[in-house]
Amino acid sequence: MSDPANIGRILIFCGLGLAGLGVLVVLLGRFGIPLFQLPGDIKIQGQAITCFIPLATMLLLSLILTLVVNLVLRSMYK
């Protein structure tokens, strides 16, 4: 795992994954699908400042990423 070629491949795949996720977020926003507006998200607006705390979104993303990572690791080590 400490081979520089393997680390480079991992970084490339992580970068491509983040770029793909960014494209997905942009496309979903253009089609009018509300992102980051779950019922548990908190938005506080004042006159000069807005504070957004996405509690429900963070919990949902954590659950999804945990499931994905567990499935990937289980498929790799079987």
Dump pLDDT digits (tens) for 44-66.
999 999 999 989 989 988 999 89
- The pLDDT of residue 2 is 66
Dump pLDDT digits (tens) for 30-45.
888 777 788 888 999 9
What lies within 8 Å, CB to CB, of 35 at 6+ separation is 25, 28, 29
Where do we find the tokens 């979903």?
Answer: 28
What percent of the chain has pLDDT above 70? 97
Q: What is the pTM of this model?
A: 0.60
